[in-house]
A and B are shown apart, each in its own frame.
Chain A
Amino acid sequence: MKIEVLRNVFEKNDQAAEQNRSRFDRLGVSCINLLGGAGSGKTSLLESLIPRLSSWMRVGVLEGDLATTSDAERIGALGVPVVQLLTDGGCHLNATLVQHGMESLLQSELDLLIIENVGNPICPANFDLGEHLRISVLSVCEGDDKPQKYPLLFKHVGGVLISKCDLLPHVEFDVDQAEADIRTLNPSAKLLRTSARSGAGIADAASWIRSVVERQPDAVPSS
């Protein structure tokens, strides 16, 4: 007996993600899923962005990591509520893990919940967590071939923050090529060049995130 179907393999994860999204909507919370390889600079970008974002809205962070609480401690030092979600070796977050992890954070009244995913350019991009906006981080130290190597990381995102741009004079990274490749995968993605160290692009990135969270027209031009 042969049965033909067409079923999304991650249907159960996507159902849990939809439950998360509905819950966020009921509570009036916007959710961002921040993705990128290990060492791409996600936590440093958050350290630069959160003080700006916090002046406009109440921000909370769910820190996904394989091990250690060091990222949560860095974010906690900014004075925003943070919960560390350790996957204990697991290489990605899924919607059910987030469902459990976000419980205490949602007791605080938040406008924006940022989920920093496990540092990994491959696996996390496969899992919807219930976010409203997905942002990828690509550092100039990783190489400009990454959009071609890890296309899923860039295909279904609202924006890409190119990080550590202060290091451009010291590394072989063709920003125009990387951006063109991201555009090939995702023509509508917002592209911003940033540096947490020099502060370049941080104000624009924060304004863009604010415009998305507040569902206002985006006034920041893409690079």
Chain B
Amino acid sequence: MHEFAVARALVDAAIDIARESHIHRITRLRCRIGDMRQVDRWLLDEAYALAREGTPCEKAELCVERTHMQLECKACGRLFSVIDWDWRCPDCGRSGSNARGGDELELTGIDGEPTDED
């Protein structure tokens, strides 16, 4: 249950960016989370609802882009995404190797309304 830590860190980071960018109300928070982080979307939404209370993110929608680990097929060389933890090549069924990606945990942007003086 690290989803609460993720949600709180997302809200904190979004508030920092909003301050730097003179945004007073955040309407959308965009992030990229790799499967390897094993962040459950339902738990994240629950945690985010709590973490954003009383903050400039209070009304902000949370958009999550999921990324997958990539493997290289040992037999046919195909680079494929691992879905549902299945490490077998979708073409030839052999196990893949040389893992890359899938561990992203990044805030990629915010949308919001600028403060009045801007």
A residues in contact (CB < 8 Å) with B: 1-13, 91-92, 94, 122-123, 126-127, 148-152, 155-156, 181, 183-185, 187
A-B contact count (CB 8 A): 93
A9 touches B71 (CB 8 A): no
Query: Which of chain A's residues have a CB closer than 8 A to the CB of B114?
Result: 1
Query: Which of chain B's residues have a CB closer than 8 A to the CB of A155?
Result: 36, 99, 103
Given the complex of chains A and B, what is the CA–CA distance between A9 and B30 in angstroms?
11
Given the complex of chains A and B, what is the CA–CA distance between A31 and B6 in angstroms?
25
Query: Which of chain B's residues have a CB closer than 8 A to the CB of A7?
Result: 13, 17, 106-107
B23 touches A11 (CB 8 A): no
A123 touches B2 (CB 8 A): yes
With CB as the reference atom, state the residue of chain B lying closest to A155: B103
B111 touches A5 (CB 8 A): no
B31 at the interface (CB under 8 A from A): yes
B9 at the interface (CB under 8 A from A): yes
A4 touches B97 (CB 8 A): no
B87 at the interface (CB under 8 A from A): yes
Query: Which of chain B's residues have a CB closer than 8 A to the CB of A149?
Result: 85
Query: Which of chain A's residues have a CB closer than 8 A to the CB of B108?
Result: 4-6
Minimal beta-carbon separation of B70 from chain A (angstroms): 11
B residues in contact (CB < 8 Å) with A: 1-2, 5-6, 9-10, 12-13, 17, 21, 23, 31, 36-38, 69, 71, 85, 87, 95-99, 102-103, 105-114
Residue from the list A2, A13, A91 in contact with B111, Cβ < 8 A: A2
Residue from the list B87, B96, B102, B112 in contact with A3, Cβ < 8 A: B112
- Given known pairs A92-B2, A149-B85, the reply for A13 and B9 (CB within 8 Å) is yes
With CB as the reference atom, state the residue of chain A lying closest to B18: A3
A152 touches B37 (CB 8 A): yes
With CB as the reference atom, state the residue of chain B lying closest to A151: B36
Minimal beta-carbon separation of B77 from chain A (angstroms): 15
Query: Which of chain A's residues have a CB closer than 8 A to the CB of B17?
Result: 3, 5, 7
- Given known pairs A122-B2, A151-B99, the reply for A12 and B12 (CB within 8 Å) is yes
Query: Which of chain A's residues have a CB closer than 8 A to the CB of B6?
Result: 9, 126
Minimal beta-carbon separation of B103 from chain A (angstroms): 6
Given contacts A7-B13, A10-B9, A184-B96, 4 further A-B contacts (CB under 8 A): A3-B21, A7-B106, A127-B5, A187-B98
With CB as the reference atom, state the residue of chain A lying closest to B23: A1
- Given known pairs A152-B36, A184-B87, the reply for A6 and B106 (CB within 8 Å) is yes
Query: Which of chain A's residues have a CB closer than 8 A to the CB of B112?
Result: 1, 3
Query: Which of chain B's residues have a CB closer than 8 A to the CB of A5?
Result: 17, 107-110
- Given known pairs A92-B2, A151-B36, A152-B37, the reply for A8 and B85 (CB within 8 Å) is no
Query: Which of chain A's residues have a CB closer than 8 A to the CB of B95?
Result: 184
